[in-house]
Amino acid sequence: MSDSRVRRIARDLLPPAVVRGLSARSSGGLVFQDGFGSWADAAAAAGGYDAQAILDQVRTATDEVVAGRSAMERDGVLFDRVELRWPVAGPLLWQAAVHHGSLRVVDFGGSLGSTYRQLSSLTDRLDVRWAVVEQPAFVDAGAGYADGRLSFHPTIADAVAAVSPTVALLSSVLQYLPDPHAVLADLASSGVEAIVLDRMPMTDAPADRPAVEHVPPQIYAGSYATWLLSEPLLLATLPGWRVLDRFPGIEPVGRTTSGVAFDWRGFVLVPE
């Protein structure tokens, strides 16, 4: 995939980070409207969001964590204790062990370094290079949080050139991309030895299903195009890769407005 195409995808990387965090706490209030014929139809029906307001909220939350006034931030939502996501931490630590204490990560859609900080108690003695791929505004803001271990990049190609990653992380991101399979294919060809996917709404249907995710107005006024991803299709995107592990997401089982059931899944994928 060309670098310019990756840049176009990165600009539409994902809907607001705060919505990804809220889904972990209040999925019952989210509404997934389906019945659309294509991603373009869903995107046309979605209301969008105030990107600057979301960035400001994530940056404020990140500052609270960096200053030590809060234990953890996930997608703009503050927590009073760190909630380690062991299905994600495990394969990253495995890669560090394989490479004798060296951990090289490309974190696609990694906000301002949320997961990097969440895992810092496990990785602070490792040789870490963690490259976040994000929207341009997040990349610009991320410059203030780069610390020699954490860096921010507008494309996969830039991140790969910077850190030579052995593992790719995508948490609650793929479903918000216009072409998630192109991004997966690009990461699979980047030289990584493992891909960790987390918090994806999925079905066992043969095809992805476009939808619009509506956030309750009392929480945040917004609606976003999303996919209910097909597990068979996702795995078929990566020939030559196999599932090393699969695990549930942190969100409850959901159902679309037309009654289609879905749940949230995660995978660790490795080359055959």
- Report how far apart, in Å, the C-alpha atoms of 145 and of each of 59, 131, 141 are: 10, 12, 8
Angle subtended at Cα 179 by Cα 176 and Cα 185, rounded to the nearest 5 degrees: 115
CA distance 223 to 185: 28
Q: Report the DSSP beta bridge partners of residue 243.
A: 269
Report residues of the chain scoring pLDDT below 50: 2-27
- Tell me the two tokens of residue 10: 């990165």
Q: What is the pTM of this model?
A: 0.87
CA distance 179 to 10: 11
Q: Where are the beta strands (DSSP E) in 94-193?
A: 102-108, 127-133, 150-153, 167-171
Identity at 17, one-letter amino acid code? A
- Report how far apart, in Å, the C-alpha atoms of 154 and of each of 13, 106, 115, 218, 219 are: 10, 12, 18, 33, 29
- Could you give all domains of the chain from N- to C-terminal order, each with its CATH number? 3-34+43-271 (3.40.50.150)
What is the predicted pLDDT for the residue at 161?
A: 98
What is the predicted pLDDT for the residue at 221?
A: 63
Helices within 150-224 (DSSP H only): 156-163, 180-188
What is the predicted pLDDT for the residue at 9?
A: 41
